[in-house]
Amino acid sequence: MKHIINNHTTYRDFPVLTDCDAVVSILDATGFFYPEEIDIALELVNEKINNPEISSYQFIFAEYENTVVGYICYGKIPLTKAAYDVYWIAVNPNFQGMGIGYSLLSQAEEKIRMEGGKHFYIETSGRKLYEPTHAFYLKAGYSIIAVFKDFYADGDDKLVFYKKL
C-alpha cells in the first residue's frame, strides 16, 4: 500500500484557498498542536495566498487523490545569509509512515539548496508526545544542536534540530 500511495502522491508549492481547511484538518488530526498554534499556521497560509509578493513563507503540499494529506512551511531566516527554518511540517495521521513527510522535507531541502541555502533548522517541542517527531528528524539526518529548558511551558523544552545542506 505504501508504494501505491507514494506513486500517486503529487506535490505543489503554492497554496490555494482550499488548503486553509486542509491545514487546519491535518494539524487538528495529529493531536499535537494547540488551537493557537493552528491559528498561526492558518495565518501563514492566508498570508501567502493573499500577499504572495510580500510573504517570505514557502510551502509544499502533498496530495493524494486531489486531497491534501501533508504539507511543509519553511522560509529563509531574516538577517541570515543562507539559513532556513521549518515552521510547520505535518502529515495526516492516516498517511503517516508512507514516506510523505520525508518527501516533503527532502523537496524543501532541495529547493533551499537551489536558492543557495546551506543551513536548515527545525524547532519543536520536547514533550514526550513529540518523540516520534524527534526520531523522524534524526532519521532524516538532523541532529539536536540546542535545548531551551521550559521554553514553551514548564516541562516543555524547545529542541532545535539542524542539518547542513
For 9-37, write each residue's pLDDT tens digit. Answer: 899 999 999 999 999 999 999 999 999 99
pLDDT of residue 8: 82
Place of cell 509544499: 60
For 118-158, write each residue's pLDDT tens digit. Answer: 999 999 999 999 999 999 999 999 999 999 999 999 999 99
The three three-digit cell numbers of residue 5, written as one number? 500511495
114 and 84 Cβ atoms separated by less than 8 Å: no
pLDDT of residue 6: 61
Write down the mean pLDDT value for the chain. Answer: 94
The share of the chain scoring above pLDDT 90, in percent, equals 93
- Structurally, the chain folds into a number of domains equal to 1
The arithmetic mean of pLDDT across residues 94-104, rounded, is 94
For 53-88, write each residue's pLDDT tens digit. Answer: 999 999 999 999 999 999 999 999 999 999 999 999
| For residue 42, pLDDT beyond 90 | yes
3-state helix, strand, coil in the chain (%, to 5): 40, 35, 25
How far from 51 is each of 67, 97, 128, CA to CA, in Å?
24, 34, 37
CATH code, domain carrying 128? 3.40.630.30
Distance between CA atoms of 92 and 29, rounded to whole angstroms?
7
pTM of the model: 0.92
| For residue 4, pLDDT beyond 80 | no
pLDDT of residue 102: 96
Distance between CA atoms of 92 and 69, rounded to whole angstroms?
5
Domain extent at residue 154: 2-164
